[in-house]
């Protein structure tokens, strides 16, 4: 291995003592080897991403700061907008349509919380490489970071919203299932991996197909949302109809569903019969009466699928990333 060291290294380099007899000071750490070539294995690129994790953190921080820097209410917007959505859904479904779900705000919020993370993350990530064209063309860094940063900043907003959720739960005196809190973490991991996989995939495709952004807006923003049991209850509204045809499994092809239901199980925490507030107070199951293990297995299955998808996304991204700088 090369002897390291130099006569005068500016602060910042952890160098070993200089080699005395070297005619010219050697300073290169021989273990840092980077290869630029047409194809780079996914494993190496994952390593690159890991090494650039501080950049990821910085980019998330930047995105959050930039987003609200010059706006009047600043970060409050990140709470106001979901609060508005929440308010409208409550108004429409509870006040106007009278779905009769007790503590509907909590029910809705537990699913919406997760969905907001997914949707904002994936939607931002879709256009992120195109939006940062200047950077991609001039600075070398693992491009996947851009997509991951979009998910990361969505994750930060998720955290803010979760704080509001806690306030709601305290105010409405609706405690979560304390013994199942760990399931939240179990559900978060597959969701983040799944969202990251989609983010990486879509970010690279959008460079070549610019209208991907609109497509994603329509599919994720409109269609996908309603395929998840967020504003309605799976058990009450969907399960019986699908079971009738033996098609219950189709509903669970949506990888976001298991996580949404896990969140509802933990945060809404009414697995038994619930009396609706509609006249006559009919008793229904809003949540399935599954045990923790069922949720665990579902989430694990999604995690497995998401990891596979993430790998595919990395392969696709790797193929496409080589031409980013010229395509943009």
Partner 1 sequence: MGDTVVSVEQVSKRFRLYHEKYTSLKERVIHAGRVPYEDLWALRDVSFEVHEGETVGILGRNGSGKSTLLKCICGVLQPTSGRVVVRGKLSGLLELGAGFQQELSGRDNIYLNGSMLGMSKREIDRVFDDIVAFAELEQFIDNQVKFYSSGMYVRLGFAVAVNVDPDILVVDEVLAVGDERFQRKCMERIRQFQEEGRTILFVSHSPDQVRAICDRGVVLHNGAMVGLGAPGEMVRIFRETLLAADGPLRAEEAPAAGSAGAEPAGVPGGAAPEEAEAGPEAEPSAPAPASDGVEAGSPLRAGGPVRIREVQVRQPGAEDKPYLVTGGPLSVQVFYEAGEPVEGAVVSVEVRDANDGLLLRTDTAILDKPLDLPPGRGVVEVRFASFPFLDGTYTVAAGIANRLGGRLYDWREPACQFEVMYPGRGSGMVALPAEVLLEVEEQAGGPAAVAGAEAR
Q: Which residues bind partner 1 (CB under 8 A)?
A: 2, 6-13, 24-30, 32-38, 40, 51-52, 54-55, 57-59, 62, 65-66, 69-70, 134-141, 208-212, 215, 321-323, 325-326
CA distance 230 to 294: 19
Nearer to partner 1 (CB atom), residue 34 or residue 244: 34
Residue found under tokens 């007790």:
102
- Residue placing its CB nearer to partner 1 in the complex, 173 or 211: 211
Shortest distance, position 21 Cβ to partner 1, whole Å: 14
Nearer to partner 1, 123 or 233 (CB): 123
The contacts of residue 145 (CB under 8 Å, 6+ apart) are 49, 52, 55, 56, 59
Contact 56, 147 (CB under 8 A): no
Q: How far is the CB of 48 from partner 1 (least distance, A)?
A: 10
CB 321, min distance to partner 1, A: 8
Give the relative orientation of helices 182-208 and 104-126 as an angle to the nearest 10 degrees: 30
User: What is the smallest separation between the CB atom of 202 and partner 1, expressed in angstroms?
Assistant: 13
1 CA to centre of own chain: 42
Please, what is the minimum distance in Å from the beta carbon of residue 212 to partner 1? 7
- Planar angle of CA 62, 14, 10, nearest 5 degrees: 75
Residue number with CB closer to partner 1 (205 or 286): 205
232: its two tokens:
């309605």
CA angle at 239 for the pair 234 and 240, rounded to the nearest 5°: 135
End-to-end Cα distance, the chain: 41
Nearer Cβ to partner 1, position 59 or 195?
Answer: 59
């Amino acid at each position: 291995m090369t002897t390291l060291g130099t006569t005068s290294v500016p602060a910042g380099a952890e160098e070993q003592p200089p080699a005395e007899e070297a005619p010219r000071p050697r300073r290169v750490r021989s273990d840092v080897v980077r290869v630029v070539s047409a194809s780079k294995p996914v494993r190496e690129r994952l390593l690159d991403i890991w090494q650039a994790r501080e950049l990821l953190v910085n980019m998330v921080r930047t995105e959050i700061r930039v987003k609200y820097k010059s706006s009047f209410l600043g970060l409050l917007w990140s709470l106001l907008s979901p609060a508005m959505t929440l308010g409208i859904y409550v108004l429409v479904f509870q006040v106007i349509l009278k779905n009769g779900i007790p503590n509907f705000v909590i029910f809705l919020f537990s699913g919406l919380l997760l969905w907001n993370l997914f949707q904002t993350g994936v939607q931002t990530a879709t256009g992120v490489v195109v939006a940062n064209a200047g950077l991609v063309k001039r600075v070398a860094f693992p491009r996947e970071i851009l997509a991951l940063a979009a998910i990361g900043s969505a994750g930060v907003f998720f955290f803010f919203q979760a704080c509001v959720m806690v306030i709601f739960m305290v105010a409405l005196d609706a405690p979560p299932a304390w013994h199942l809190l760990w399931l939240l973490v179990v559900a978060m991991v597959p969701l983040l991996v799944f969202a990251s996989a989609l983010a990486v995939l879509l970010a690279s495709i959008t460079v070549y197909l610019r209208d991907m952004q609109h497509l994603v807006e329509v599919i994720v923003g409109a269609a996908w949302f309603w395929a998840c049991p967020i504003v309605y209850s799976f058990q009450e509204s969907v399960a019986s109809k699908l079971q009738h045809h033996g098609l219950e499994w189709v509903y669970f092809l949506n990888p976001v569903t298991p996580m949404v239901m896990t969140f509802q199980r933990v945060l809404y925490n009414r697995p038994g019969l619930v009396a609706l507030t509609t006249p006559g107070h009919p008793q229904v199951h809003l949540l399935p009466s599954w045990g923790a293990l069922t949720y665990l297995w579902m989430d694990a299955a999604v995690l497995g699928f998401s990891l596979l998808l993430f790998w595919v996304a990395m392969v696709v991204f790797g193929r496409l990333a080589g031409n980013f700088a010229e395509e943009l």
